[in-house]
């Protein structure tokens, strides 16, 4: 992007002969440098994904028929026109902004200016310029743009790099853009022959050029930092997640960037994409290869479930599952080091040579017995289970032994039926302490309040109470009774964002997902939203950051039959909220769930696990069912 009155020059220090020649500072030079950098990104990505077992694939570059400038010998810079060659080359679009140089270099829009009032405006300027330019930057094409701001400039007076921002926006249904300033472009290579020199050049950059807080003191640093930092913005525009990444998106790989392209001895590390980011790329059309297996919608959205099950001998069994297939399961110690890893993507030498295998998919379900875990892992360490699905979804459990000991399942006496449990817990609850919480559980279908033996009543309305935090929820039944998802005797719940949903008898067991917002520091859970099988939702997440949400889903062969959790005995705020599931083969059968399930105390909200003095019969709740209707709830 160039300003409407741009001089079409970029910063270039005297050590790069900037005072006597424009070979590295003109618009033409910037085009060559950005094109060669894009080729380097593409080559690095293709080889990295191949090594990960995902096939040799990369993003595609918009191309045009033009002069081949890949090498010096093929470049138009050669004196003999007969030596120039034509071919398909990556197209660098010159997009003119309606803003002037002074407007782009306004200190208020410089991202490095922490006192600036409009530090994110450059992103808007760039997107507006693309929209004004038109094709191919139209939302219907869903393009991903690597945007370079030509008029970036280091101001020695202000000590700021002006007209520069490292920003990105991912839009799955439209234009995705990652932008970066041109303040390090002088150090980038124009041709293949210049790559080693640029990545090994230890010449100081000098005082007239911005050094990014001491990170660009040499030409080598400026080249590596600039190319890598802009690639991070491109990765962000491709939906990579900086907060969860251990690779390129996490930064800190400046020194190892050059090791990708220049052979060095004793290479200890190399810049690469995090496996989770690479798997997210795999689901994008930009990275598709002929023969790729297409994901269904359910596979694309499938979560990675980590839970404790039981084997045929009623012994605890670790189960990790994902409908899209598993990519990796690993056990990480307290120092973040993986001690045991199952990499299902990694191919054998024979598979790497087989061009028919584009990506290797792992199993959808993976089991490990408690005996196998105890033989391999130290019982005194709280191993973290970290799992990735082939769709880029991740699952994580903080303590392996805690998961197995907590027994996240309920055995129904007199039957072989086992109910599964999984929940979202607040940080305060995870960290332990002496705080006492009210433990509760409830079923969406239970015995009718009038008795009558086999008579059952179903949940006809679920009221999710959310305000500044998650107050709780109340389930109302068709017989007029109710049950709190929280302290049993609590008669009033606040929550200005509360929403209730009326349910028909057929919809009672059609809740497929419960989304919990866990972002509240050391306090309670922050929000809750429920989803029916038809896509209808109600409740309030109470935040815009999806990274703070944990989604609790029934398995493909399960139905949600109830909820459980823990709440503060004083305020009533929710600190744990979970789902209870049963196999569809049981719930959908003619007999349905066994009758003894409705008499199990562990599936009722009676005394909160605090003793008989706190006991309250569930049927007593019906007396208050018409007295605590809150005026601040919405009804769907």
Q: For the segment 582-632, what is each residue's pLDDT rounded down to a tens digit? A: 999 999 998 899 988 998 888 889 888 775 555 555 444 444 444 444 445
User: How far is residue 402 CA from its own chain's centroid?
Assistant: 25
Q: What is the mean pLDDT of residues 144-152?
A: 96
- Percentage, residues of the chain above pLDDT 70: 86
Q: Rounded to whole angstroms, what are the CA distances from 248 to 31, 46, 56, 254, 622?
A: 24, 14, 18, 9, 57
**CA atoms within a 13 Å half-sphere pointing along the CA-CB vector of 341:** 13
pTM: 0.74
pLDDT (0 to 100) of residue 66: 87
Q: What is the mean pLDDT of residues 166-188?
A: 94
User: How far is residue 248 CA from its own chain's centroid?
Assistant: 15
pLDDT for 422 beyond 60: yes
Q: What is the mean pLDDT of residues 438-451?
A: 88
Q: Which of 2-11, 261-270, 304-313, 595-604 has the lowest mean pLDDT?
A: 261-270
8 Å CB contact between 133 and 95: yes
All residues at 6 or more sequence positions from 198 whose CB lies less than 8 Å from its CB, including other chains: 187, 188, 189, 219, 220, 223
Report which of residues 316 and 119 the model is more confident about. Answer: 119
Collapse the DSSP code of 592 into the 3-class scheme (helix H, G, I; strand E, B; otherwise coil) and give the result: coil
pLDDT (0 to 100) of residue 125: 96
Count of CB atoms situated within 10 Å of the CB of 206: 13
pLDDT (0 to 100) of residue 545: 66
All residues at 6 or more sequence positions from 20 whose CB lies less than 8 Å from its CB, including other chains: none
> Which structural domains are found in the chain, ordered by start?
14-51+92-282 (no CATH), 290-407 (no CATH), 410-636 (2.100.10.30)
What are the phi and psi torsion angles at 41 (to 5°)? -60, -45
Confidence class of residue 20 from pLDDT cuts 50, 70 and 90?
Answer: low
Q: Is 467 exposed, middle or buried (0-12, 13-18, 19+ CB in 10 A)?
A: middle
All residues at 6 or more sequence positions from 526 whose CB lies less than 8 Å from its CB, including other chains: 469, 470, 517, 518, 519, 520, 542, 543, 548
All residues at 6 or more sequence positions from 336 whose CB lies less than 8 Å from its CB, including other chains: none
What are the phi and psi torsion angles at 64 (to 5°)? -145, 165
Nearest to 299 by CA among 364, 217, 204: 364
Question: Which of 313-322, 380-389, 470-479: highest mean pLDDT?
Answer: 470-479
pLDDT (0 to 100) of residue 352: 59
Report which of residues 245 and 47 the model is more confident about. Answer: 47
């Amino acid at each position: 992007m160039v300003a409407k009155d741009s001089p079409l020059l970029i910063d270039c220090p005297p050590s790069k002969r900037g005072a006597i020649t424009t070979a590295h500072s003109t618009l033409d030079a910037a085009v060559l440098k950005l094109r060669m950098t894009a080729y380097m990104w593409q080559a690095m990505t293709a080889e990295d994904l191949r090594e990960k077992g995902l096939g040799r694939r990369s993003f595609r570059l918009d191309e045009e028929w033009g002069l081949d400038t890949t090498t010096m010998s093929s470049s138009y810079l050669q004196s003999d026109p007969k030596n120039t060659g034509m071919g398909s080359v990556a197209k660098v679009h010159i997009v003119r902004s309606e803003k002037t140089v002074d407007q782009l270099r306004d200190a208020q829009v410089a991202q490095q200016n922490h006192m600036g009032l409009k530090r994110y405006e450059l992103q808007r300027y760039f997107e507006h310029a693309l929209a004004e330019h038109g094709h191919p930057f139209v939302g219907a094409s869903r393009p991903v743009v690597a945007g370079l701001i030509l008029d970036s400039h280091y101001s020695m007076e202000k000590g700021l790099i002006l007209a520069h921002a490292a920003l990105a926006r991912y839009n799955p249904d439209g234009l995705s853009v990652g932008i970066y300033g041109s303040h390090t472009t002088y150090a980038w290579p124009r041709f293949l022959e210049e790559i080693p020199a640029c990545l090994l050049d230890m010449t100081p950059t000098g005082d007239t050029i911005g050094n990014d807080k001491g990170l660009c003191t040499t030409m080598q640093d400026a080249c590596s930092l600039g190319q890598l930092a802009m690639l991070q913005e491109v990765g962000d525009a491709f939906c990579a997640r900086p907060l969860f990444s251990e690779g390129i998106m996490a930064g800190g790989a400046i020194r190892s960037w050059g090791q990708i392209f220049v052979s060095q001895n004793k290479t200890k590390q190399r810049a690469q994409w995090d496996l989770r980011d690479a798997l997210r790329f795999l689901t994008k059309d930009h990275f598709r290869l002929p023969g790729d297996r297409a994901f269904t919608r359910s596979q694309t959205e499938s979560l990675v479930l980590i839970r404790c099950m039981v084997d045929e001998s009623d012994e605890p069994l670790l189960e990790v599952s994902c409908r899209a297939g598993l990519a990796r399961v690993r056990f990480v110690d307290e120092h973040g080091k993986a001690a045991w890893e199952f990499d299902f993507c990694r191919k054998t030498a024979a598979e790497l040579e087989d061009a028919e295998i584009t990506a290797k998919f792992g199993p959808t379900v993976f089991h490990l017995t408690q005996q196998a875990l105890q033989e391999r892992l130290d019982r005194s360490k709280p191993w973290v289970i970290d799992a990735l699905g082939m769709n880029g979804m991740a699952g994580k459990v903080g303590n392996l032994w805690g998961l197995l000991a907590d027994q996240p399942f309920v055995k129904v006496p007199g039957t072989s039926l086992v109910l599964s449990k999984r929940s979202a817990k607040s940080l305060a609850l995870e960290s332990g302490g002496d705080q006492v919480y009210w433990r509760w559980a409830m079923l969406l279908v239970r015995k009718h309040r009038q008795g009558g033996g086999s008579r059952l009543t179903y949940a006809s309305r679920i009221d999710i109470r959310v305000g500044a935090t998650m107050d709780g929820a109340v389930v109302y039944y068709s017989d007029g009774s109710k049950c709190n998802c929280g302290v049993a005797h609590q008669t009033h719940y606040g929550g200005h964002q509360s929403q209730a949903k009326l349910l028909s008898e057929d919809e009672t067991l059609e809740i497929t997902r419960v989304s919990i917002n866990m972002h509240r520091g050391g306090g309670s859970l922050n929000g809750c939203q429920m989803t029916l099988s038809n896509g209808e939702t109600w409740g309030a997440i109470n935040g815009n950051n999806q990274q703070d949400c944990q989604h609790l889903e029934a398995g493909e062969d399960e139905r949600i039959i109830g909820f459980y959790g823990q709440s503060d005995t004083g305020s009533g705020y929710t600190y744990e909220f979970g789902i209870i599931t049963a196999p569809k083969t049981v719930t959908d059968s003619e007999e349905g769930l066994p009758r003894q399930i409705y008499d199990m105390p562990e599936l009722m909200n009676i005394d909160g696990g605090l003793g008989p003095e706190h006991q309250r019969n569930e049927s007593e709740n019906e007396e208050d069912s018409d007295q605590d209707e809150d005026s601040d709830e919405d009804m769907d």
